[in-house]
Amino acid sequence: MTTAPRHFILIWALCLLTALPVFAQEEVSPAARERFTAGLALIEKADTSADFLAAMAEFEAAAILAPQWPDIHYNLAQLAAESDKPAKAIKEYRAYLALQPQAADRVAVEGEMARMKELIALKRKVGLPGVTFAAMPDGFWVLQVLPGSAIEKTGLKKGYKIVGVGGKPIPGTKLEDLFKAIEANNITDELSKASSERMYSRMSRDTSTKGPVVVLNVKQTREQEKPYLIFCKKEMFRSKIIEIEEDEFEEEVLKSNLPVAVTFWGDSCASCSELIPVIETESAAHAGKVKFVNINVDGNRKLAGQLAVKEVPAMMLYKGGSAVANASGKFSKDKVAAILQGAAAR
């Protein structure tokens, strides 16, 4: 095992990694090195949100080829932590510590794992199911937006970058800084509040959604100098649905005391635009009786493969750890209602 310092994946670093781990002292196959290097190259050139997902896939492939290599698990955890996959980060940090039980940075790594658990709780408090981000030095890149979700209707799109909330820069470069800024809703001036309400009503033509307005300062492209404003109602972020990663599936679905309705979706899922509002409505109607979770198949390919999810949207109802009903492709709200109505009777 190498005694040389590890080089971490810090995707917000301006230098974007000019050095690689000391492979010569590691028992790492050439194929694993190649996949790791390919992931680094994707991060260095990243100019679309898809590059981060592709880099994750390269790192995961390297980890499969070299499962006993501590550095790949550490680097994978670092990338996952700042790409809105905290459950995966925890899993990879644990793998790293299992391979390096006497690691000099053990306390720091355990601290990062605790931070990831807090991040999961914070995002679920804020809401935003189906929206994921990557932390960058100059803002937060939107990686995914669930088609048909309330937040999509505001105009927020994959590839945009959030650079402020309420007209103020976000005080930090970690994902929790973004979520805390949204939760704080820092428009405190009464005149600004009234102006924001008028702008929201004018742009959305929505006068029924209650609660305060949240203003996101967004850049659509790198070249855009001045951000434009997206007006949202804070209530639009709230949901009875939680977004989970494949590493949470066992705990959140298989071990749940309630029946669980799992909706699988994809970034390019046209039919999701019609289905997701139906699921949102049903989740509110069945609150406390059925648990609702979403899973993005593009970011959780391993689980999608294990469950043979071949097209999206797909819906599976689990009870007692087993799937008892399912539907996939373009299906009606009546089909959704029938699946859910049978949940309590099974």
Is the pLDDT at 27 greater than 90, yes or no?
Answer: no
Q: What is the distance between the terminal CA atoms of the chain, rounded to a whole angstrom?
A: 53
CB 31 within 8 A of CB 14: no
> Predicted confidence band at 16 (pLDDT cuts at 50, 70, 90)?
very low
6, part of any domain: no
- CA–chain centroid gap for 69, Å, is 26
**Which residues lie across from 231 on neighbouring strands?**
215
Average pLDDT over residues 101-115: 97
Q: Say whether both 258 and 294 belong to one domain.
A: yes
Average pLDDT over residues 64-83: 94
Q: Say whether both 117 and 33 belong to one domain.
A: yes
Which of 108, 124, 140 lies at the terminal end of a domain, its last residue? 124
Q: What CATH code is carried by the domain that includes residue 76?
A: 1.25.40.10
Q: Say whether both 148 and 211 belong to one domain.
A: yes
Helix axes 175-184, 106-126, angle to 10 degrees: 30
CB 152 within 8 A of CB 145: yes
Q: By residue range, what is the domain housing residue 164?
A: 131-237
Average pLDDT over residues 260-279: 93
Half-sphere exposure of 288 (CA within 13 A, CB side): 1
Q: Cα angle at 73 between 5 and 256, to 5 degrees?
A: 145
Q: Say whether both 225 and 138 belong to one domain.
A: yes
176, part of any domain: yes
Token readout for 195 is 């102006």
107, part of any domain: yes
79: left (phi over 0), alpha (psi -120 to 50) or beta: alpha
What is the C-alpha separation between 340 and 253, in angstroms, rounded?
Answer: 15
> Predicted confidence band at 140 (pLDDT cuts at 50, 70, 90)?
very high
For 206, the 3-state DSSP assignment is coil
308, part of any domain: yes
Token readout for 180 is 């805390």
What is the C-alpha separation between 233 and 63, in angstroms, rounded?
Answer: 41
> Predicted confidence band at 26 (pLDDT cuts at 50, 70, 90)?
low
Sheet of strand 291-296, all strands in order from the earlier edge strand to the far edge: 241-243, 291-296, 260-265, 314-319, 322-328
Token readout for 22 is 């000391």
119, part of any domain: yes
For 168, the 3-state DSSP assignment is strand
11, part of any domain: no
Q: Say whether both 183 and 148 belong to one domain.
A: yes
Is the pLDDT at 197 greater than 60, yes or no?
Answer: yes
Q: Say whether both 79 and 59 belong to one domain.
A: yes
Which of 104, 124, 144 lies at the terminal end of a domain, its last residue? 124
Radius of gyration in angstroms for the set of CA atoms belonging to the chain, rounded to a whole number? 21
Count of domains observed in the chain: 3
> Predicted confidence band at 194 (pLDDT cuts at 50, 70, 90)?
confident
Helix axes 272-285, 333-341, angle to 10 degrees: 30
Q: What CATH code is carried by the domain that includes residue 311?
A: 3.40.30.10
Token readout for 92 is 């990879």
Q: To the nearest whole number, what is the mean pLDDT of the chain?
A: 86
Which of 124, 150, 171 lies at the terminal end of a domain, its last residue? 124
Q: What CATH code is carried by the domain that includes residue 231?
A: 2.30.42.10
Is the pLDDT at 12 greater than 70, yes or no?
Answer: no
> Predicted confidence band at 346 (pLDDT cuts at 50, 70, 90)?
low
> Predicted confidence band at 160 (pLDDT cuts at 50, 70, 90)?
very high
Average pLDDT over residues 288-304: 94
**Amino acid identity at 72:** I
Name the pTM for this structure: 0.86
Q: Say whether both 216 and 166 belong to one domain.
A: yes
Report in angstroms the alpha-carbon separations of 14 from 11, 137, 196: 8, 8, 35
Is the pLDDT at 6 greater than 60, yes or no?
Answer: no
> Predicted confidence band at 20 (pLDDT cuts at 50, 70, 90)?
very low
Residue 322 is predicted with a pLDDT of 95
Q: Say whether both 136 and 70 belong to one domain.
A: no
53, part of any domain: yes
138, part of any domain: yes
Q: Say whether both 272 and 324 belong to one domain.
A: yes
